[in-house]
Amino acid sequence: MGAMKSALRILVTGGTFDKEYHELEGRLYFQQTHIPEMLRLGRCQLEVQIETLMLIDSLDMGDAERARIVAACRAASEERLVITHGTDTMERTARLLGPLPLGKTIVLTGAMVPYTFGSSDGLFNLGSALAFAQTMPPGTYVAMNGCCFPWNDVRKNRVEGVFEPRSADAPGAGA
Amino acid sequence: MGAMKSALRILVTGGTFDKEYHELEGRLYFQQTHIPEMLRLGRCQLEVQIETLMLIDSLDMGDAERARIVAACRAASEERLVITHGTDTMERTARLLGPLPLGKTIVLTGAMVPYTFGSSDGLFNLGSALAFAQTMPPGTYVAMNGCCFPWNDVRKNRVEGVFEPRSADAPGAGA
Amino acid sequence: MGAMKSALRILVTGGTFDKEYHELEGRLYFQQTHIPEMLRLGRCQLEVQIETLMLIDSLDMGDAERARIVAACRAASEERLVITHGTDTMERTARLLGPLPLGKTIVLTGAMVPYTFGSSDGLFNLGSALAFAQTMPPGTYVAMNGCCFPWNDVRKNRVEGVFEPRSADAPGAGA
Amino acid sequence: MGAMKSALRILVTGGTFDKEYHELEGRLYFQQTHIPEMLRLGRCQLEVQIETLMLIDSLDMGDAERARIVAACRAASEERLVITHGTDTMERTARLLGPLPLGKTIVLTGAMVPYTFGSSDGLFNLGSALAFAQTMPPGTYVAMNGCCFPWNDVRKNRVEGVFEPRSADAPGAGA
């Protein structure tokens, strides 16, 4: 299968997904992405290209960072993309990508607990996102909490720590 | 959402997914399903009913056990089902369900390593199966290794320990 | 053994040992001690009393906090104590207790990685500290990295992240 | 420290400590010892030599295997030894070593749950055993459940799955 075009591309941007504990400094930080390790753990047989764009907390994302994400989505030869992203501003990046005529299925996902910590939702979300990326029609989506939300109808409920439709009646809705 | 019909039903049959280590007897065994715990870990927000049909190794499944699985699929009010199942004879159960006019989306999944052991593909496969169950049209599928196989084109490669299309050229294909 | 005086008392002060990841706020924090859970995991059969004095990072310890630790050591009816403590200023607390004529065996220990994170040295250090607490003569010690250091000959090597004798030739020695 | 004589030697014989799950065959087996990995996890700074004598379940130990253990204890240049051993017949090996005039401190330990499975007592017991090996006078001991038992006063309580003095009133005492 050496010459086959990748079925999927994973664009890594960091977020809680890839945070680690720095034992000498006693703080959380990024060293490298754990996506390859997670795909091995899941015994994933899909043809996947992994591209690390950045490793940052999504609260630290500005226009320049988001522009790089958009550019990577355009440049990808694959038609199906998964973007790992911090959950705090995931909906913002989704709303930037959503209106663009990219002709690709783009699924953003993340984690509430770092993969390296155990008790993480990371593996579950990755399996979920890769599945939705294979089946959803072209468009931008957020895959969190087992659900797949269209880009224009999702928000993070910051009180509960879960994602829900924008139309849901819930406090703590963010922009 | 209290009165809403469940979006999905998970039928638990056991398999490596739910095996545990019996420390007094030094062997593997079944005690209870870990699916509720895994859904909590994945912070799953889907409406899911969990029904434990049995907790056995799929090598121990006979006609009676498979008949119970078929009956449970028929009886379910949900149109989307996930069945957790041992990987050794998962394709056999899939081929039994596949031709039936059930009008439901049925996704079988399992794990190569028990969830309780760490380094398990269980969480990844569960996220994957729940996603495929929400998006695939009515029919029976096997969701393993990140992929979704139709019931009539899947087999377990017993040399590699992965699932692949029946048409793949590979040794160790089982029936 | 119901009426038997406790063989050991564990005084909990927090430190990296008991840190957790706060998923809504994305930071590390203290919620409760995990010592009871760790003793269950280790299948510990010792008679142990657990007393939580505080749950703080040892960098936040001041004279008042250290005075409480000393007071708790004095007040304990047990002759053998283990103190869980942040590693950053563990030697400072050891040097405060060391000269006191308490007539007890006091072993301080901690962890470089939080117990809740996996890949933690916490369980290893706890087993180690409880053993040294049972065998060392009265005095104050630091049990880290498998070794038992007397209170007056130990320091944390902040470059390597390990404990060593004060007499060792090593950069980054702290005070 | 290159030419320094090892402070301790760990003799590995297998037991539940080192069991793993064979995912293709769905059974427990031995592949390699995890002691080096566990020492790294514990950030152990002791000078330790690791010698793998065998990797078997202690129920499979016969006279030949026990003779090899005795020979390895004699041959070791270190005066302090830890032996990792299956818990089922650990007391038998202890009673074989106990009366011998070896002039060494020998501590047997094991685990009720394999290290690779998570929720294991392995790390705790290893930290415990290494500490007792450094402090106990010459003789043979069993370090389990946080306690250190002399070779002639220990048995495995097979009902509770813990070690206790032979003099304890408890059912399920083994020989």
Q: What is the rounded CA–CA span in Å between residue A83 and residue A97?
A: 11
Q: Is D24 on the interface with B (CB under 8 A)?
A: yes
Cα–Cα dist C128/D130, whole Å: 7
Confidence of residue A6 (pLDDT cuts 50, 70, 90): low
pLDDT band at B171 (very low <50, low <70, confident <90, very high): low
Give contacts of B21 with chain D, Cβ < 8 Å. Answer: 28, 113-114, 117
**Strands (DSSP E) found in chain D:** 8-14, 20-22, 27-29, 48-56, 80-84, 105-109, 139-144, 147-150, 155-157, 162-164
Out of C21, C88, C159, closest to residue A114 by CB: C21
Q: Which residues of D touch C46 (CB under 8 A)?
A: 145-147
Residues lower than pLDDT 70 in chain C: 1-6, 169-175
List the single residue in D with minimal CA-CA distance to C163.
D45
- Taking one residue from C and the other from D, the number of pairs with CB-CB distance under 8 angstroms is 117
- Contact of D68 with D99, CB cutoff 8 Å: no
* B57 in Cβ contact with B84 (< 8 Å): no
Alpha helices (runs of H) in C5-147, residue ranges in sequence order: 35-41, 63-75, 90-97, 122-135
pLDDT band at A35 (very low <50, low <70, confident <90, very high): very high
Minimum-distance CB partner of A43 among B112, B123, B129 = B112
Tell if the CB–CB gap between A119 and C116 is shorter than 8 Å.
yes
CA distance D27 to C81: 42
A154-173 mean pLDDT = 83
pLDDT at C1 (0 to 100): 31
Nearest CA in chain A to B145: A44
Determine how β-strand B162-164 pairs with β-strand C162-164.
Answer: unpaired
Q: How many residues does chain B have?
A: 175
Q: Please check the confidence at residue B3 and state whether its pLDDT lies above 80.
A: no
Q: Which of B43, B135, B145 sits opposite A43 (nearest CB)?
A: B145
Q: A162-164 and A155-157 as β-strands: parallel, antiparallel, unpaired? A: antiparallel
pLDDT at B6 over 70: no
| CA atoms lying within 13 Å on the CB side of residue A133 | 30
In chain D, positions 95-124, which contact chain C (CB-CB < 8 Å)?
112, 119-121, 123-124
On the question of pLDDT at B165 being above 90, the answer is: yes
* D93 contacts D125 by C-beta, under 8 angstroms: no
Q: Do residue A118 and residue C118 have CB atoms under 8 angstroms apart?
A: yes
pLDDT band at D6 (very low <50, low <70, confident <90, very high): low
**Does residue A171 have a pLDDT over 80?**
no
Q: D135–C148: do the CB atoms touch at under 8 Å?
A: yes
Residue of C nearest to D168 (CA): C1
Residues of D in contact with C146 (CB under 8 A): 39, 42-46, 127, 130-131
Q: For the segment D77-113, what is each residue's pLDDT rounded down to a tens digit?
A: 999 999 999 999 999 999 999 999 999 999 999 999 9
Question: Is residue A170 less than 8 Å (CB to CB) from chain B?
Answer: no
Q: What is the pLDDT of residue C129?
A: 98
Radius of gyration of chain C (CA): 15
Residue D156, pLDDT score: 96
| Minimum-distance CB partner of C45 among D120, D123, D146 | D146
Q: pLDDT of B128-163, one tens digit each?
A: 999 999 999 999 999 999 999 999 999 999 999 999
Q: How many residues does chain D have?
A: 175
Average pLDDT across chain B, whole number: 92
For residues A105 and A137, the answer to whether their CB atoms sit within 8 Å is yes
Identify all chain A residues contacting C28, using CB atoms and an 8 Å cutoff.
21, 26-28
Residues in chain C closer than 8 A to A118 (CB atoms)? 116-118
Select from B97, B133, B140, B115 the least CA-distant residue to B15: B115
Task: Please tell me if residue A79 touches chain C, with a CB cutoff of 8 Å.
Answer: no
Q: What does the CA dihedral C54, C57, C60, C66 come to, rounded to 10 degrees?
A: 50
